[in-house]
């Protein structure tokens, strides 16, 4: 038994001190893993690496042996803990640099339809989840829903989320001026911060923005509150004016789309939403 442990460094006062120092450093790393603070975690891992080279240079056999056996597990832990950030970085590398952007004029009408629809759904307390694709392709998520490939319009967007509509469950994914798919399943955020604060719809809105660069708009069916999720964070209960301003900034248009006035009386069957100026018409 003792012969099988012959590869271990001899137990001396120096080895005990090395072990205590190393235990403290590893303890700090474990605390940061629990809190998932990326910057501090990487700083402590860097400190451990520096301590390893110092141990090699100074001949601290115990610390060198322990660190040599711990580092492979730290690398694996880093990949598991920061898989969302790694996946997001890889998705940025996979972006299509030749994808064309639609004009400001076209974008203004697209956002106008979206804002009008969100305003209507909010006023009627109809739950909704709208995802706007940016650079990262959302094909994985569109394939989980019902393909539409339909031109975006206020009427279609509001109709999809009607409680009795067959496509009202799940998310609508929009690419440029088209609704690509409806009733799509999205990944829920695994961030423990949102576990008790958000419902399933809002956690899905955060989840899709954690894994991609998409933008998600959620409407609560309980309160009608509008929320905007971007880059793994969410703004809760924002106004339509604030939503219009944020969309304008996120999508890089110098003049944000105008915020519509919500309608409470015009039935959905009418083809022209209240408060909207027909294209080419006058106020």
Tell me which residue of 158, 96, 107 sits closest to 132, measured CA to CA: 107
Residue 95 lies in a domain: no
Rounded to a whole number of angstroms, the distance between the first and last alpha carbons of the chain is 91
Cα separation, 262 vs 124, in Å, equals: 10
Which has the higher per-residue pLDDT, 235 or 73?
235
pLDDT at residue 135, as a whole number: 85
* 30 and 157 belong to one structural domain: no
Residue 168 pLDDT > 80: yes
Burial class from Cβ neighbours inside 10 Å (0-12, 13-18, 19+) for residue 273 reads buried
The residue segments making up the domain with residue 29 are 14-81
Lowest mean pLDDT among 77-91, 188-202, 239-253: 77-91
Residue 4 pLDDT > 70: no
Residue 35 pLDDT > 50: no
Residue 48 lies in a domain: yes
Tell me which residue of 223, 279, 260, 278 sits closest to 120, measured CA to CA: 260
Torsion angle in degrees (nearest 10) through CA of 67, 69, 70, 73: 150
In contact, 108 and 265? CB cutoff 8 Å: no
Which has the higher per-residue pLDDT, 106 or 247?
247
pLDDT at residue 91, as a whole number: 60
pLDDT at residue 281, as a whole number: 39
Which has the higher per-residue pLDDT, 263 or 208?
208
Element (H, E) at 116: helix 104-123
Q: pLDDT-derived band of residue 219, with 50, 70 and 90 as boundaries?
A: very high
Q: pLDDT-derived band of residue 98, with 50, 70 and 90 as boundaries?
A: very low
Residue 161 pLDDT > 80: yes
Query: What SS3 state is found at 94?
Result: coil
* 70 and 195 belong to one structural domain: no
Cα separation, 157 vs 132, in Å, equals: 13
* 165 and 44 belong to one structural domain: no
* 151 and 225 belong to one structural domain: yes
* 236 and 144 belong to one structural domain: yes
């Amino acid at each position: 038994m003792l012969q099988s442990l012959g590869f271990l460094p001899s137990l001396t006062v120096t080895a005990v001190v090395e072990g205590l120092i190393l235990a403290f450093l590893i303890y700090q790393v474990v605390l940061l893993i629990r809190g998932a603070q990326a910057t501090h975690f990487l700083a402590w891992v860097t400190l451990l690496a520096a301590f390893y080279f110092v141990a090699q240079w100074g001949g601290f056999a115990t610390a060198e042996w322990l660190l040599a056996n711990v580092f492979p597990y730290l690398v694996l832990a880093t990949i598991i803990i920061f898989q969302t950030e790694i996946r997001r970085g890889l998705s940025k590398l996979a972006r299509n640099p030749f994808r064309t952007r639609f004009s400001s004029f076209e974008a203004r009408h697209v956002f106008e339809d979206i804002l009008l629809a969100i305003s209507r759904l909010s006023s009627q307390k109809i739950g909704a989840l709208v995802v706007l694709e940016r650079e990262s392709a959302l094909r994985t998520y569109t394939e989980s829903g019902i393909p539409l490939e339909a031109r975006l319009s206020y009427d279609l967007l509001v109709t999809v989320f009607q409680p009795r509509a067959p496509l009202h469950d799940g998310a609508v994914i929009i690419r440029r001026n088209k609704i690509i798919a409806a009733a799509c399943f999205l990944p829920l955020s695994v961030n423990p911060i949102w576990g008790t604060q958000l419902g399933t719809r809002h956690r899905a809105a955060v989840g899709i923005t954690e894994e991609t660069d998409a933008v998600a708009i959620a409407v609560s069916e309980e309160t009608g509150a509008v929320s905007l999720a971007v880059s793994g964070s969410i703004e809760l209960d924002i106004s339509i004016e604030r939503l219009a301003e944020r969309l304008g900034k996120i999508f890089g248009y110098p003049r944000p789309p105008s915020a519509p006035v919500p309608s409470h009386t015009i039935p959905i069957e009418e083809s022209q939403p209240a408060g909207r100026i027909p294209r080419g018409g006058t106020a």
